[in-house]
């Protein structure tokens, strides 16, 4: 084990554990996406195997079972318990774009529910047709949708459109979200906005008022893979201030808030972490299968204070 990997600030944690409703594990099921956002950091390197894990039903099932076993609320040997205690465990399916998995996404969602997870999804919404929503929405606690701009020119410049040039209109999107709420009245909607050089001056108040999300995550563009659209401190602060009327549902994340404070699994079944600003790329654990979640997780840097604040500064649940 390298000296770098020995920096595990898992303990000692001085403050008493904070109790939260749900602990969230983000499984980035695929790197593939039908959009090509310039700032996209869904890119994983040093693949330990040739194919993403979701292709293999048995191994996907094993991964879910292992994650649940290790992170279930009653496992007192999990080092996260020094910082947090939690009532339920949520699996957040992310990507890439998870909806391009089609039936496999539904299979994974069902399998995760059967294992004992609550399930949420983060999507660019382009493939969430009413048929898909009808099947998926009843299984979900949260449906998260990424939305950066109401202007088609800005979305085009960011890269938020299909290769065919096809884009989802805001009317279609809001109608789909209304339908999802109809199908599952308990469903919570979350909007993720990446503030970047192209949308930092925009006012999204009208859109947020129309969609009525339970949470609005405002993320400062993270220059991990590409820094072209990086946004200045002032422009990011001005965006947040412009939308201060939505403070009660907002969760604002600057770059430093995103480092070592998420539980993330990559498409190959490894834990991974963002590195501190300027270092680029990710840090990876060994694959969770077959070594087990405890072994793999022990290789991860983890910032208990950052993690705790993710759960205590945002309304509702973190992800
Ligand atoms: S929609 Fe998400 S996964 Fe797809 S290119 Fe954009 S940032 Fe990347």
CA of 34, closest atom in ligand 1:
4
- pLDDT band at 317, cuts 50/70/90? very low
**Is the model more confident about 275 or about 203?**
203
User: Is 4 a domain residue?
Assistant: no
Q: What is the mean pLDDT of the chain?
A: 88
User: What number of other Cβ atoms are within 10 A of residue 315's Cβ?
Assistant: 12
Q: Whose CA is nearest to atom 2 of ligand 1?
A: 96
**Is the model more confident about 45 or about 223?**
45
User: Is 318 a domain residue?
Assistant: no
User: Is 8 a domain residue?
Assistant: no
Share of the chain above pLDDT 90, in %: 69
- What integer pLDDT is reported at residue 109 of this predicted model? 98
Q: Whose CA is nearest to atom 7 of ligand 1?
A: 40
pLDDT at 316 over 70: no
- The alpha carbon of 270 is separated from its chain's Cα centroid by a whole number of angstroms, namely 15
Ligand 1 pocket: which of 160, 163, 173, 196 to mutate (most atoms within 8 A of CB): 160
- What integer pLDDT is reported at residue 255 of this predicted model? 79
Contact between 138 and 106 under an 8 Å Cβ cutoff? The reply is no
DSSP state of 243: T
The mean per-residue pLDDT over the stretch 224-248 comes to 93
pLDDT at 225 over 80: no
- What integer pLDDT is reported at residue 96 of this predicted model? 95
Ligand 1 pocket: which of 33, 128, 145 to mutate (most atoms within 8 A of CB): 33
CA distance 216 to 218: 6
pLDDT digits (tens, 9 = 90+) for 45-104: 889 889 999 999 999 999 999 999 999 999 999 988 888 889 999 999 999 999 999 999
User: What number of other Cβ atoms are within 10 A of residue 218's Cβ?
Assistant: 20
Closest CA to 56 of 90, 30, 84, 18: 30
User: Is 43 a domain residue?
Assistant: yes
pLDDT at 315 over 80: no
Q: Whose CA is nearest to atom 8 of ligand 1?
A: 40
- pLDDT band at 9, cuts 50/70/90? very low
Closest CA to 155 of 68, 229, 219: 229
CA of 97, closest atom in ligand 1:
3
- What integer pLDDT is reported at residue 313 of this predicted model? 54
User: Is 1 a domain residue?
Assistant: no
The mean per-residue pLDDT over the stretch 199-220 comes to 97
User: Is 173 a domain residue?
Assistant: yes
User: Is 5 a domain residue?
Assistant: no
**Is the model more confident about 302 or about 123?**
123
Q: Cα 237–240–241 angle (5° rounding)?
A: 85
- What integer pLDDT is reported at residue 221 of this predicted model? 92
- How many domains, the chain? 1
- Find where tokens 């759960």 sit: 311
CA of 39, closest atom in ligand 1:
7
pLDDT digits (tens, 9 = 90+) for 114-163: 999 999 999 999 999 999 999 999 999 999 999 999 999 999 999 998 87
User: Is 3 a domain residue?
Assistant: no
- CATH number, domain of 55, equals 3.20.20.70
pLDDT digits (tens, 9 = 90+) for 153-207: 999 999 998 878 777 889 999 999 999 999 999 999 999 999 999 999 999 999 9
pLDDT at 12 over 90: no
- pLDDT band at 14, cuts 50/70/90? low
Distance 161 CA to ligand 1 centre (A): 10
Domain hosting residue 268, numbered range = 18-313
Query: Ligand 1 pocket by C-beta < 6 Å: which residues?
Result: 33, 35-37, 40, 42, 95-97, 124, 146
């Amino acid at each position: 084990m390298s000296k770098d990997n020995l920096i595990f600030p898992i303990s000692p944690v001085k403050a008493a554990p904070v109790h939260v409703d749900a602990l969230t594990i983000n499984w980035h099921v695929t790197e593939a996406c039908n959009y090509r956002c310039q700032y996209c950091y869904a890119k994983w390197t040093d693949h330990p195997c040739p194919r993403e894990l979701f292709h293999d039903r048995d191994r996907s099932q094993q991964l879910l079972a292992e994650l649940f076993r290790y992170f279930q609320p009653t496992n007192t040997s999990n080092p996260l318990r020094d910082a947090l205690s939690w009532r339920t465990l949520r699996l957040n399916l992310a990507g890439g774009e998870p909806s391009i998995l089609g039936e496999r996404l539904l299979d994974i969602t069902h399998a995760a529910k059967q294992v004992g997870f609550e399930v949420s999804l983060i999507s660019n919404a382009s493939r969430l047709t009413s048929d898909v929503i009808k099947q998926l929405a009843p299984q979900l606690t949260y449906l998260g949708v990424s939305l950066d701009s109401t202007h088609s020119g800005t979305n085009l410049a960011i890269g938020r459109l299909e290769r065919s040039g096809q884009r989802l209109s805001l009317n279609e999107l809001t109608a789909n979200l209304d339908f999802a709420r109809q199908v599952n009245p308990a469903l919570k909607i979350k909007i993720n906005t990446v503030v970047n050089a192209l949308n930092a001056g925009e006012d999204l108040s009208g859109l947020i008022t129309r969609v009525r999300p339970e949470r609005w995550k405002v993320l400062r563009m993270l220059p991990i893979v590409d820094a072209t659209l990086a946004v200045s401190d002032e422009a990011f602060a001005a965006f947040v201030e412009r939308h201060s009327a939505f403070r009660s549902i907002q969760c604002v994340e600057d770059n430093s808030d995103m480092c070592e404070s998420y539980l993330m699994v990559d498409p190959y079944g490894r834990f991974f972490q963002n590195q501190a600003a300027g270092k680029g790329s990710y840090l990876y654990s060994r694959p969770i299968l077959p070594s087990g979640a405890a072994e793999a997780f022990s290789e991860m840097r983890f910032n208990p204070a950052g993690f705790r604040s993710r759960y205590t500064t945002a309304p509702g649940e973190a992800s």
